[in-house]
Amino acid sequence: MPPGLTLWDVSSPPSSQFFQLVGTAIMMPIILTYTIHSYRVFRGKVTQSDGYH
């Protein structure tokens, strides 16, 4: 930040921050659910007999 500005001077408007908050509140559970699902589907070790060779 430039020396003459405070954190409040350089922050975005409250409407933009609220828009970002809503977007994060919607997308974060979706991303976490997909990540957990992916880890559960692909958990465990793969043996040589499980491969495609």
pTM of the model: 0.67
On the CB side of 47, CA atoms within 13 Å amount to: 2
| pLDDT digit string, tens, across residues 3-45 | 889 988 889 999 999 999 999 999 999 999 999 999 999 988 8
Give the start-to-end residue ranges of the domains of the chain: 16-40
How high is the pLDDT of residue 51? 72
